[in-house]
Structure 1
């Protein structure tokens, strides 16, 4: 039941890409299903509580994705080592990655607890929104450590062609999250919590379960000992620097992109409670859909990294083109489904008719950015797998800070388009990012 790719002679074909991408997509969908369950449970409990949840989640997501970016070197270095035939050294990559993840998780959580509530109260939000979101944010901060450490193990397993166990771990955590949300959010438990804060505690518990499940999977894999997982990590400052260096560029890229999207929640908050709730629905649905191209991007990156490590330039080109083609086909199908189901999707999130109306219109319009957003993540991953780490970062800084934020603000508030204006700005920025990254990949493979 696992997709095992343990040699550098992996065939670069569409079945290979899909065999890797399928379980990765399921794993990433598991991440978003957790957020989807939280959003639906809280939204159906109270539209106001959904606003608290969205505002508490936005800064947390910035730090989470930034932290995960710091760990991207685990997957890149593992894939390249396999391509070069150095399998026995991949265990040391994992051990360095886990130690790094523990440090990152603690630092990120403390930073968010110290500064998060203060920032919520000083970005122009109504005081009741900031007050309601602050305790939600603190609980989310506590859950950063287990999800970051667990993800380090997942990245390592995926680079070894074992995405299925990681997906199963994530869906096991989802079961925990669903049960706890149904119990805690409506206030049925004996604990004095309900609504958004209760959902955040469910997220904390499910992420702890995820980390423990990943640890069990790694330790019980029969090849772990041969790969050096249980051996003392050799002292190698150069390897540690390479791990961090790849992560620095990816984390800046992830920070910029996520912070920019998080700022859209603030812009929606300036419009009003109904707008921030509607944008939360649009953003959650888009993030859920984004897991499909993200899974394809991870699979593309693994194949590109192995070909790059083996010195196979034609393989790099073929893997990249497969990733772009598969992503284009998948996102066009997704757009067709959303066009038909937009009102039903909005209705699933909330009973509030005002929020539902705004969200349904914005969901329909969001089909404009699904394809370019998917292509840009595949392009970025294909470049990072070739150790071309700073161009994706520069592209994201330009596209999401310089293009997206000003456009979204102008469209949404001065031009009066509201949440639809935010969607137009996101679509423009995604198109710019995709064009630049695909162009960079095409230039590299033709050299």
Structure 2
């Protein structure tokens, strides 16, 4: 029997089921970060200026990726709940309208980002940096409709306990991305040297590849497409308004979180080119570890949603706390490596002695931040798997805009702690967030309605 129908309350079984679903999701999420990691690896060889343009140029784009993931979250939540309740036939409708909805949103966001140079200038960046980084943003924005289709479909397949498809698709995209980066960043043969804009163009091409692979598989190759009503319209499916409602709450929540991180990057931009380069290499380790946690968080959300669909209160609780425990252990292992071998880790991205000396002290604060940030992500997903919409959103508003942004500005700019101060603000906000989310999930698992 599958996890959608069989409640089992032993901790060992919850760990096994979570890991079975989580590991390919983890690999897929880390593969997504791998796309930007390759960009940083290649651009690190192209020069500090190109790396700085890329870091600032992708800051707003990355925040909109998070918003997009939130806006399409209703697909995964309702699919998990519906299959948990035995309503398999309706989920094809959930997926198809989610894909259309996401693609339209992606087109709108891409159009808005064509004004990125002006926005960066308004936010206090130098005219030269605003123009060069804004050009990067304008190119990479074209990936957003494709990313929306990928996120909608990956979430759907993961909720059906088919995460391997997304993992293999991301692996193919990573191979393609490496080749495209080398060709487009440095210029080979008939292709001109494009620098950071070349890395952005590679992102657009690979996003289109990812979207097509997952959409085609789901629409035409998924063996259970008849069982799940793929290509049909199910009148008994959860309403489109409910699907959007879940997405609105999650999208706004992710916007608060990601938007606050954009502000932190803007603060770093005020500190100069070296500071932006430090942020580029240090943030890769936070992002890679966070994506590992996001994979576990996604599996946790699915399992909480399955338990909610079958009315299993104890199963919901164990699914959530098991996910948090697993992330604590794994993020702790990564943290040990980052603290003990900071310079060795940084040398993966740069050999510049000035950059290494500036980045090494920041690694300690980044490591503290990632442990708490990973845990808050799992608890947030657990709450949303239970159908909680607006309370986690309010908690993210408090944690990131009322705590992180003021603290990052105070420590990093006013107290002149630099990039280390920025990460001190992230640590403080993540502690607040994980505390609030854990208390909220504890409350939710004590009421089944």
Shorter-chain TM-score bucket reads over 0.9
- 2:378 equivalent to 1:378: yes
- Structure 2 length normalisation: TM-score? 0.95
Q: How far 1:225 moved relative to its partner?
A: 2.2
The secondary structure found in structure 2 opposite 1:349 is coil
Conservation of the 8 A alpha-carbon contact between 2:4 and 2:307: no
Conservation of the 8 A alpha-carbon contact between 1:279 and 1:419: yes
Written as runs of structure 1 = structure 2, the 5 A alignment for 1:8-407 is 8-9=5-6, 11=8, 13-113=14-114, 115-218=115-218, 219-231=220-232, 233-234=233-234, 239-407=239-407
Could you tell me how far apart the structure 2 residues matched to 1:307 and 1:74 are? Answer: 17
Q: How far 1:346 moved relative to its partner?
A: 1.6
Could you tell me how far apart the structure 1 residues matched to 2:193 and 2:384 are? Answer: 43
Find runs of 4+ consecutive structure 1 residues off by over 6 angstroms: none
Could you tell me how far apart the structure 2 residues matched to 1:118 and 1:329 are? Answer: 44
Q: How far 1:226 moved relative to its partner?
A: 2.3
Conservation of the 8 A alpha-carbon contact between 1:66 and 1:251: yes
Q: How far 1:16 moved relative to its partner?
A: 0.5
Could you tell me how far apart the structure 2 residues matched to 1:360 and 1:411 are? Answer: 18
Q: How far 1:446 moved relative to its partner?
A: 3.5
Conservation of the 8 A alpha-carbon contact between 2:78 and 2:238: no
Q: Deviations over 1:94-127 (max 9, x none)?
A: 11111111111111111111x3221012111112
Aligned length in residues: 442
- Unaligned 5+ residue runs, structure 2? none
Q: Cα–Cα, structure 1 residues 269 and 149, in superposed 2: closer, same or farther, change >3 Å?
A: same
Q: Cα–Cα, structure 1 residues 235 and 106, in superposed 2: closer, same or farther, change >3 Å?
A: farther
Could you tell me how far apart the structure 2 residues matched to 1:55 and 1:347 are? Answer: 21
Q: How far 1:189 moved relative to its partner?
A: 4.0
Q: Deviations over 1:387-442 (max 9, x none)?
A: 11111111110000010011111111111110010011100000000001001111
- Structure 1 length normalisation: TM-score? 0.96
The secondary structure found in structure 2 opposite 1:348 is coil
* Worse overlay, 181-190 or 242-251: 181-190
Could you tell me how far apart the structure 2 residues matched to 1:182 and 1:364 are? Answer: 32
* Worse overlay, 313-322 or 187-196: 187-196
* Worse overlay, 271-280 or 26-35: 271-280
Conservation of the 8 A alpha-carbon contact between 1:80 and 1:306: yes
Q: Cα–Cα, structure 1 residues 362 and 319, in superposed 2: closer, same or farther, change >3 Å?
A: same
- Unaligned 5+ residue runs, structure 1? none
Q: Deviations over 1:211-256 (max 9, x none)?
A: 111123212011112211122x246796100110000000011111
The secondary structure found in structure 2 opposite 1:387 is coil
Conservation of the 8 A alpha-carbon contact between 1:62 and 1:258: yes
Q: How far 1:351 moved relative to its partner?
A: 3.0
Conservation of the 8 A alpha-carbon contact between 2:67 and 2:252: yes
Conservation of the 8 A alpha-carbon contact between 1:89 and 1:227: yes
Q: How far 1:5 moved relative to its partner?
A: 4.1
* Worse overlay, 388-397 or 10-19: 10-19
Conservation of the 8 A alpha-carbon contact between 1:181 and 1:198: yes
Q: Cα–Cα, structure 1 residues 235 and 179, in superposed 2: closer, same or farther, change >3 Å?
A: same
Q: Cα–Cα, structure 1 residues 385 and 85, in superposed 2: closer, same or farther, change >3 Å?
A: same
Could you tell me how far apart the structure 2 residues matched to 1:308 and 1:124 are? Answer: 47
Could you tell me how far apart the structure 2 residues matched to 1:150 and 1:270 are? Answer: 34
Q: How far 1:270 moved relative to its partner?
A: 0.6
The secondary structure found in structure 1 opposite 2:368 is helix
Q: How far 1:66 moved relative to its partner?
A: 0.6
RMSD: 1.5
